[in-house]
Structure 1
Amino acid sequence: MKNYYTLVGALTLIISVTTNKLAAQQASTHINTKPKLVVGIVVDQMRYDYLPRFWSKYGQGGFKRMVSEGFIAKNNHFNYVPTKTAAGHTSVYTGSTPKTHGIIGNDWYDKTEKRMVYCTEDATVNSVGTTSDAGKMSPRRMLSSTMTDQLKLATVSKGKVIGVSLKDRASILPAGSAADGAYWFEGGHDGNWITSTYYVQQLPEWVQKFNDSDAAEKYKKTWNTLYDIKTYTESLPDDNKFEGAFRGEKAPVFPHELKKLWKDNGEFSLLKSVPYGNSLTVDFAEAAVNGENLGKDDITDFLAVSFSSTDYVGHQFGVSAKETEDTYLRLDNDLARLFSFLDEKVGKGNYTVFLTADHAAVEVPSYLESLEIPGGYENGKDFYNKVNTFLKDTFGSDKLIENISNDQIFLNHEELKDLKLSSAEVETAIANEIVSYKNIAEAYTGTAMRNQQFTKGLAAKLQMGYNFKRSGDVLFALEPGYITSSGRTGTTHGSGYIYDTHTPLLFFGKGIKHGETAQLTQIPDIAATICTLLGISFPSGEAGQPITQALEN
């Protein structure tokens, strides 16, 4: 009997130790999921409805793989205005909005410098890989840390972070302030990938080797549809008045002969405006994985990739063009190629991917007009003249406006002082005046943005995009479907309406649960979700919540 109790005790001890060990292992897995590599993908100007619209034509290895193996958030939105490229990329990676991170547009009027400034311009650094000023860029105008910065902090800089995009801002801002490198495509005569001395003093050997290989040269070819154009039934007829043609083309129709258009359209810069620019981005991203040995050890690395050709194509051809449809079908193939490469180089199940967009886009307003759907155009020059005339008649000065940009009015505060006028008084007068103008939906003063709390509607979105030091004195929003433009072809973005805010959000890979949600998710939630997955601190300005349904356990 004694031996029996001894045996039972021993077995109980073994079971207890084993159970505790398994529990500890599980707890460790739940608390800190460590993929070897995180790949953040931002598709410039991708509307959510491009997923269901072209679904039947997508292959199995791109968007469909992300949905079938991962998690899709079907009701994902930007929660601020303006929905612009730089602000969008920064919001995705900081988990905040322009109110906090300070990137209030691609460019904006600087009230201190009294000039328009570009989001990543930096005169204190020099170009690397080019003799032009195209490399004089850095993330120094960004006021919050990014999830990529937090990864650097969590790994005491052992985890590598690399940003890749055709656009400088789409590479620099996601990579963050502590990145190992950010690279963008200069285009022009040479067609090289470049960077700045903020990161390195000379191009790494792998980048120089990529440039020397003339990798972009192979895309100097005809752009025709990937499949029979007759099957592109989700789009308008190829020849229509709502699309813009390339310089040298008589009509915006397939095929687009790039060799014939080369000189008149910026040579290698032309690749940015066709889907081959996305293919080139994948080529370079793969070179970055190899050249930087990303995902080769147990310390998580981060590759931030932005596909920009989708934005160029959308601006020129619009939402419902066959060129736009073809661009997304080709992007789907490029994604499949990238994922297959990662399977081989990093290992299937060893990496995590998220995919979203920096904004969506409105249907071409002239197309909306043709269907008698509300939409149209606002002339910026006429708007300025009308407001200026009002101020002169009301306050006796035509010098009270210093700048109008990004749907914001900046007042001349020196002129206000000379006339002994309060800013609040003039702001209120302007807001009350312009809200009566045709095509203006709403207008708010900077004073209200600072002192009131808006909880819903456009006012709340404007407030989330309002930065105390950088934003204007009066903010306004056009009516739905309206844009400020002198042309009537192609599309744009920037508003707080659903057509600009509704973007895809997909996760797949290590630590991601298969599923979907139609509940509201917002752009700041992405950084919170990835940081929770990695078990690292959230960015300094984080305002989102983790999407727990997407995470295993």
Structure 2
Amino acid sequence: MRISKILLLAILMAGNSLYAQQLNRPKLVVGIMVDQMRWDYLYRYYNRYGSTGFKRLLREGFSCEQTMINYVPTVTAAGHAAVYTGAGPAMNGIVGNDWYDRASGKSVYCVYDSAVSTIGTGKTTAGGMSPHYLQSTTVGDELRIGTGFQSRVIGIALKDRAAILPAGHGANAAFWYDDATGNFISSTWYMNNLPAWAEAFNQEQRAAKYIQQPWQTLYPAATYTASTADDKFYEVPIPGEDKPVFLHQFNKGKDYDLLKYSPLGNTLTLDFAKAAIQGYDLGKNATDLLALSFSTPDIAGHSFGPNAIEMEDMYLRLDKELGAFLSWLDQRYGKDYLVFLTADHGAVHSPGFLQDNRLPGKAEKMGRATALNEAIHKNWGIPKAILSDAGTQLYLDTAAISKAGVPMASLQQFIKVQLKAISGIGDVVAMDDLRSGYLPAPYNSMYVNGWHAKRSGDMMMVPAPGVKNGSIMGTTHGTMYPYDTHIPLVWFGWQITPGSSYRPVSITDIAPTLSALLHIQMPSGTTGQVITEVMPGRK
């Protein structure tokens, strides 16, 4: 009898001990996205990085070296949505920065919402931004639910879509940059007025101070050997400048939009992020999430292209700022914070650069709706068979085609013949082609993952490798090729064991991995898998 009592007491004590344990989570999660950061930027400028920024992340963190985007189109809105929902456009509904809406017959912007109002510009204006088009929950939404809404979720970026889509539906706030005032603003989806700390930040008018500062190279220009010469015919000048060369001035316009081309756009973003961390006292009561995106590398990158001195200097400066930010987080949270760094897409080399170096690739205008409609009208009698060619997709007027008695397969074949005669267009596929596995792997699945039944087009134009949509100048993105789809992914901080893996993982694996680390349900539309190498206790 005495032995039985002792055993019972031991069991009760063990149970109480287990019950008393607290679930282990970091105080703060910081998701860092660098807009248009190709994976090779981690290493192209590696020898010039300091020890506290990108090198520290790689040295002390875990790098997933073969992280690929697994859908098309590879654009900003889709990338930011995919990272935080764990799903591509087929599931989360964000098929582009904008898309053609059949119901209204108009193009819609991915975060525009006529039902909310803009706040923070000095006056509340009708028509604002929200995540209402996003059809999946995000990691932040699930974190809020999983902690009884004690966790706080904040999105910050210069671009509205880069702040809103990562933050999700249930976020406490999302803030983005207003070109007209230089303020960080928001919408009534989140709040009726900006918090006092944000108002105080805007009153400092940092944008007005930063835009007065010219951009000169951090080091002597001759030392930028990873880049081409400063003055290249395929670089696009910043608005207001005659040539795309240093020294760059940004105070030539009446608005503050030019600051988004300057590295100081990254500085302003980090300034506001630190103000938000302090203003909300993030990490005080529960695990909080800050979704932070740097928009400037993309905005400047579109003009200068991946091989310009400006982009090398941009990343050398960002490296220093990241290092200082990590040190600041160290002082505030010790070892109790988690960071992941990734990108929404990469970028193609400027066609002018490719031509200069006898490499394959060219510029091609992919928008072909007008010419195709003329040809279809002439041959088939349908005045406007193609409603839109948004995002290299063709939206067909199926009702008009059916009314004209034209077999859909015949019309699609006609369109294919017309477009495939253009050298820069590698192929043209219809959704039925994709269902039958028409394109080689993995490209076929990428188009399937990016196709949304209600928002995508009926046919897709597939550019050839190295082909840029538009002119030979600058850069863009959006395709299925590695220069657009191979992105960095580095995990750092709380419970992360240093190391690296070359196992292929997808952009949609980030959200379920973060969910597993935080012991919360993965987002509702998730298709990705947990990256087991990142998990604590791995061998």
Superposed CA deviations along residues 300-333 of structure 1, whole A, max 9, x for unmatched, are: 1000000000001110100000000011111111
CA distance in 2, matches of 1:115, 1:418: 22
User: How does 1:467-546 map onto structure 2 within 5 Å?
Assistant: 467-485=452-470, 487-546=471-530
CA distance in 1, matches of 2:467, 2:124: 37
Amino acid of the residue matched to residue 230 of structure 2? D
Amino acid of the residue matched to residue 65 of structure 2? K
CA distance in 2, matches of 1:52, 1:95: 27
The 8 Å contact of residues 239 and 258 in structure 2, kept in 1 or not, is answered as no
CA distance in 2, matches of 1:218, 1:96: 40
The 8 Å contact of residues 37 and 343 in structure 2, kept in 1 or not, is answered as yes
Identity percentage over the alignment? 41
- Name structure 1 gaps, 5 residues minimum: 1-5
Per the alignment, residue 100 of structure 1 pairs with 91
Amino acid of the residue matched to residue 423 of structure 2? K
CA distance in 2, matches of 1:398, 1:20: 76
CA distance in 2, matches of 1:480, 1:285: 38
CA distance in 2, matches of 1:432, 1:445: 13
2:200 to 197, 201, 209: 209
Amino acid of the residue matched to residue 331 of structure 1? L
Superposed CA deviations along residues 494-534 of structure 1, whole A, max 9, x for unmatched, are: 00001000110000011211110011111011001100000
User: How does 1:409-424 map onto structure 2 within 5 Å?
Assistant: 409-424=394-409
Q: CA deviation at 1:435?
A: 3.0
2:369 to 348, 370, 384: 384
TM-score by length of 2: 0.93
CA distance in 1, matches of 2:492, 2:269: 21
Amino acid of the residue matched to residue 504 of structure 1? P
CA distance in 2, matches of 1:97, 1:455: 19
Amino acid of the residue matched to residue 283 of structure 2? G
Q: CA deviation at 1:535?
A: 0.5
CA distance in 1, matches of 2:520, 2:334: 23
Q: CA RMSD in A?
A: 2.5
CA distance in 1, matches of 2:8, 2:307: 68
TM-score by length of 1: 0.91
Superposed CA deviations along residues 340-363 of structure 1, whole A, max 9, x for unmatched, are: 221122x12111000000000001
Helix, strand or coil for the counterpart of 1:224?
coil
Amino acid of the residue matched to residue 61 of structure 1? T
Per the alignment, residue 140 of structure 2 pairs with 148
CA distance in 2, matches of 1:125, 1:389: 40
Helix, strand or coil for the counterpart of 2:406?
coil
The 8 Å contact of residues 130 and 189 in structure 2, kept in 1 or not, is answered as yes
The 8 Å contact of residues 514 and 550 in structure 1, kept in 2 or not, is answered as no
1:35 to 17, 22, 26: 26
CA distance in 1, matches of 2:370, 2:257: 36
**CA pair 533-258 structure 1, distance change in 2 beyond 3 A:** same
User: How does 1:313-462 map onto structure 2 within 5 Å?
Assistant: 313-345=300-332, 347-380=333-366, 383-449=368-434, 456-462=441-447
Establish whether residue 165 from structure 1 lines up as the match of residue 157 from structure 2: yes
**CA pair 25-340 structure 1, distance change in 2 beyond 3 A:** farther
Amino acid of the residue matched to residue 535 of structure 1? H
Q: CA deviation at 1:488?
A: 2.6
- Name structure 2 gaps, 5 residues minimum: none
Helix, strand or coil for the counterpart of 2:389?
strand
1:288 to 276, 292, 303: 276
CA distance in 1, matches of 2:13, 2:44: 52
Helix, strand or coil for the counterpart of 2:429?
strand
Per the alignment, residue 3 of structure 1 pairs with none
Q: CA deviation at 1:69?
A: 1.1
Per the alignment, residue 232 of structure 1 pairs with 224
CA distance in 1, matches of 2:270, 2:19: 36
Amino acid of the residue matched to residue 459 of structure 2? V
CA distance in 2, matches of 1:154, 1:396: 58
Q: CA deviation at 1:545?
A: 1.0
Per the alignment, residue 186 of structure 2 pairs with 195
Superposed CA deviations along residues 352-387 of structure 1, whole A, max 9, x for unmatched, are: 000000000001011102222111111245x33442
**CA pair 469-422 structure 1, distance change in 2 beyond 3 A:** farther
